[in-house]
Amino acid sequence: MDKTSLPPLLFNGADQPESSSISRRSLFVAAGAAGISAAASVMMPDRAQAQSTDWTQPGNNNHVLALQETKDFASGPVKFEYFGHCALKITSPGGASILFDPWRDDPSGAWGLWFRQKFPEAVVDITMSTHTHFDHDAIDRPVSTMVLDRMAGQFGFADLKITGFADKHACLAPGWYKWTDALKEFGAEACPPNNVGHMDMVTYLVETGGVRTLIWGDNRPDPAPGFWESVGRVDVLTLPVDGSQHILSYDQGNAIVEKLKPKIVIPTHYLSETTTYTLSTLQPADEWVKSQKSFKMLDSPTLTLAAADIAGRDREFNYFGSHALTA
């Protein structure tokens, strides 16, 4: 097998019912693990397949229509609800909601069982994903009127403004588990500029209720030149740092916090006993949180922040710990 050649594959959905949930990463892993010749046996280039099952979802767009018709939105706090891992729902003061990075297990099985259940069928107006890795891209699971997958540029709706900054995934695992070496073993490049496509990333800045929230995703610690200036002020920052230092190390996370000086830091991408299995190789983020000057161990999966209330805070870590919404 030529490990440097991993062409895209087409699956016959009629024979492979699970194909609707196969991600770009899974295709890569499946091709690498099973071999191109085996994978080629399911190539059906003459069959078009509907990949999305969103048409089966309950509900409709009545809430989005109501928001669309609203002229003046109430001021008030911004609500954050944590679904474990990097899945965070933000609800604007006017009631518009976005869910970032719903998770799932890798459908190829190559990366093992990470999650204890299927992602809840959360009802939201907008679902967004930062990148195509399985632990961020279950965009079919939320009951969502809109899906904005890997959106670069600007989007405005109701009292929300979202800016997507295209960048790259962290490509050198800083912890003991060198998961980025697996890409090398399959002949794929993890690092830019010739990285495999699933190592592309988008980070999102959400502006609502006077609060600017940066969703870091799994972005590299040293983004492209101009990134910091483009992002500007950040009030709430999510960062993927866990005890195994799977995506970012403690030092890399701390350096980003020092650079952006957010008022609030929300750790993500860590082992939560509510949602995540030990097989993920992740660890809790407690050690990192407790090493900070200012931190708060939250007692629920919900956090409400008003611009005026957080104005005086400085790099305060707000840690959801094992609290996560499961329905």
Task: List residues binding Fe ion (CB under 5 A).
Answer: 133, 135, 218
Q: Shortest CA distance to 214 belongs to which of 123, 83, 80?
A: 80
Rounded to a whole number of angstroms, the minimum distance from the CB of residue 179 to Fe ion is 9
Residue with tokens 């949930």: 21
Residue closer to Fe ion by CB (options 133, 220) is 133
CA distance readout (Å), 122 to 34, 139, 253, 287, 288: 35, 11, 29, 30, 30
Identify whether the C-beta of residue 187 lies closer than 8 Å to the C-beta of residue 4: yes
Phi, psi of 322 (to 5 degrees): -90, 5
Q: Shortest CA distance to 135 belongs to which of 289, 25, 16, 258?
A: 25
What number of residues does the chain have?
327
Residue closer to Fe ion by CB (options 125, 137) is 137
Residue closer to Fe ion by CB (options 125, 135) is 135
Local structure of 240: helix, strand or coil: strand
Q: Shortest CA distance to 239 belongs to which of 203, 267, 213, 208?
A: 267
Rounded to a whole number of angstroms, the minimum distance from the CB of residue 187 to Fe ion is 19
Q: Give residues with Cβ within 8 angstroms of 195, minimum separation 6.
A: 168, 169, 171, 189
Rounded to a whole number of angstroms, the minimum distance from the CB of residue 132 to Fe ion is 8
Residue closer to Fe ion by CB (options 137, 207) is 137
Rounded to a whole number of angstroms, the minimum distance from the CB of residue 159 to Fe ion is 29
Residue with tokens 């969502």: 144
Residue closer to Fe ion by CB (options 30, 170) is 170
Burial of 216 (0-12, 13-18, 19+ CB in 10 A): buried
Rounded to a whole number of angstroms, the minimum distance from the CB of residue 277 to Fe ion is 14
Residue closer to Fe ion by CB (options 133, 212) is 133
Rounded to a whole number of angstroms, the minimum distance from the CB of residue 204 to Fe ion is 15
CA 268 – CA 91 distance, rounded (Å): 18
Rounded to a whole number of angstroms, the minimum distance from the CB of residue 310 to Fe ion is 27
